[in-house]
Structure 1
Amino acid sequence: MVDVIVIGGGPAGLSAAVYTARADQETLVLDKGGGTTRGVDYMENFYGFPDGISGEEIVARGEAHATKFGAEIRREEVVRVADDDGHFVVETTDDEYEARGLVLATGASYETPAIADVDEYEGRGVSYCVECDAYFYRDRPVAVVGAGNYAAKEALMLLDYTDDVRVLTNGDAFDADPELADRLREHAVEVITDPVDRVAGEEELERVVLRSGESIGVDGLFVALGAAGGTDIAETLGIPQDGPYLRVDEDQSTTVDRVYAAGDLTGGNRQVATSIGEGADAAINLLESFRGTDYVDYRKLDA
């Protein structure tokens, strides 16, 4: 039996592993590979790297950091987790492990739209993160794919960077709250409900083609359909969800003792920097639970 199993080897999971391993807790990170962060070619809003850094390098540095303190990383996919009378049994496609505590950091995969060729332009005009990539489309024509509040909020955020914004519902009825819909109208953001056939361009995205044959020139297409969270493991433990995300308290704890969660799995801003901080919080509070105490923020006591 190990002390801690971290499920997920992205920024949140590796940050947690750094803390638990450095605290001399035997730590095993189970990660099947892939992940959203690894697929990011260039990130220029990550603290300490003004010239930018790739997602792959961020993960590689995190792995080196965690293993330096003794964490073990295994490329195995978790298929089942069970609470067995005070400890946890984690079954993978290759083996079975036991741990005193868990950190869930499986991330979230983003729902892709039913639009031909959209995957071919990911990173070349198609993005799943306004917060990450809107900066690159200042004063350029952009569109958001989605039909609900998430899409409306992303479109409003884009207005900080460009006035040329439209929403494409891809054939669905627009279902944003009236307040958000009114704000879109106030800013002259067009909502187009016609189905989208495909995206097109030479090296970069240049246009969206509707099923009617109409072509709309855009340099950026932001997908806002929501995230499909990796919550299957949590469901087996009876941990509740908020939509596609795992429900956690302020200390990153779940409703199951000694099970904490961090990163995109829990929703929020879905930024690498946020995930790293949440991973640290999850680890610190898990360590406190091992000691039978709660983490005390002494700054609040002095306030």
Structure 2
Amino acid sequence: MDNVYDTLIIGGGPGGLTAAVYLRRFRREVMLVDKGNSRLDLIPVTHNFPGFPDGIRGLQLLDNLRCQLGRYGGAVTPGEVSGLRREGDCFVAAFEGGEVRSRTVLIATGIADAGLPVENWREAVAAGAVRLCPVCDGFDVLDKRIAIVSSPENPVSHALFMRTFSASVTLFERDRESAMPAEHQQQLRDAGVRYIASPVLGVTMSHAMKPVIHTEDGEDHHADVVYPMLGESARSDLAAGLGAATADCLALEVDEYQCTTVAGLYAIGDVVKGLNQISVAAGHAAIAATHIHNTLPRRFR
């Protein structure tokens, strides 16, 4: 059993890296595999992660966590786990043409955003013209002209939430099949939110990197920032393939120790049902890693 890891961590975002730091400090043998799709590397600066009063770039936070893991003999292995199965007391993961065996597995694979035509997507996100999380950065767009594209799950709640931060909030309809109920339209009017019923065709950027929202009626609407509210699905296929229960948007269901419905299979961060935040992922990681350590056979050195 010397070639069996204590824990295989799949995903090297803030959650996976934090869990790896904890487990290495517990003297556990860990392999962390990451294919480089962390949403954190899209974030130009986050201002609501504790301990950084001036904010920190997403890439810098990832670098800091990798460096911290390296201090304890850990590292990130680039690549993708393409399959996961159970054999006796171990999990077996298919990886780069070979196999990796571990006693436990921690899924930290995050979510995949759905699509909306946005010109120069990465550049627009880097410039702060396109934003992905009202909870994360609403305070950072105080008094800006805010455009929000409706989502089927929360047709008006995001617009009402952002009204806290600006008097200029416009909600755009995503598609022509959606019919805004009268009570929702009244909520918008009561809050002073403008509503554009003509569906969005796409978003382009002005020369000053400001979003221009193009609607089906031929109108162009200028804003300072746009929240496309893309919709999402959790990257939970590896866990679901083992029978782990999922909820809305394929998010994994976990218990108070971040364990899925499959024994020994844990999940943390955005792939889990709940609030998608960096600090939440870090908290998940601490809980899961500590429980994993306490449930694995002890090693006395």
| TM-score, normalised via structure 2 length | 0.89
**2:112 touches 2:232 (CA, 8 Å); kept in 1?**
yes
Find the aligned partners of 1:182 and 1:281 in 2 and give their Cα distance. Answer: 43
The answer for the alignment partner of 2:105 in structure 1 is: 102
How far apart are 1:109 and its partner, in Å? Answer: 2.2
Structure 2 residue 209 is the aligned partner of structure 1 residue 204: yes
The answer for the alignment partner of 1:228 in structure 2 is: 233
How far apart are 1:139 and its partner, in Å? Answer: 1.4
The answer for the alignment partner of 1:53 in structure 2 is: 56
**2:119 touches 2:205 (CA, 8 Å); kept in 1?**
no
The answer for the alignment partner of 2:257 in structure 1 is: 251
Secondary structure in 1 matching 2:66: helix
The answer for the alignment partner of 2:29 in structure 1 is: 26
The answer for the alignment partner of 1:297 in structure 2 is: none
Q: Summarize deviations over 1:107-134 as a string: whole Å, max 9, x none.
A: 1122231355555522331111112222
RMSD: 2.2
**1:144 touches 1:221 (CA, 8 Å); kept in 2?**
yes
How far apart are 1:60 and its partner, in Å? Answer: 1.2
- Shift of the 205–92 alpha-carbon distance from structure 1 to 2, 3 Å rule, reads same
* Range moving further from structure 2, 114-123 or 148-157: 114-123
Find the aligned partners of 2:218 and 2:295 in 1 and give their Cα distance. Answer: 60
Which consecutive aligned stretches of 4+ in structure 1 deviate over 4 angstroms post-superposition? 115-120, 175-182
Q: Summarize deviations over 1:214-252 as a string: whole Å, max 9, x none.
A: 121211110213212111111111111112211112221
Secondary structure in 2 matching 1:99: strand
Q: Give identity over the alignment, percent.
A: 28
Question: Aligned AA for 2:144?
Answer: R
Find the aligned partners of 2:252 and 2:180 in 1 and give their Cα distance. Answer: 23
**1:4 touches 1:99 (CA, 8 Å); kept in 2?**
yes
Structure 1 segment 34-49 matched on structure 2, within 5 A:
34-49=37-52
Find the aligned partners of 1:76 and 1:184 in 2 and give their Cα distance. Answer: 46
Select which of 130, 133, 140 maps to 1:129: 133
The answer for the alignment partner of 1:273 in structure 2 is: 279
**1:118 touches 1:199 (CA, 8 Å); kept in 2?**
no
Structure 2 residue 157 is the aligned partner of structure 1 residue 153: yes
Unaligned runs of 5+ residues in structure 1 are: 293-303
Question: Aligned AA for 1:110?
Answer: D
How far apart are 1:192 and its partner, in Å? Answer: 2.1
Unaligned runs of 5+ residues in structure 2 are: none
- Shift of the 177–257 alpha-carbon distance from structure 1 to 2, 3 Å rule, reads farther
Question: Aligned AA for 1:31?
Answer: D
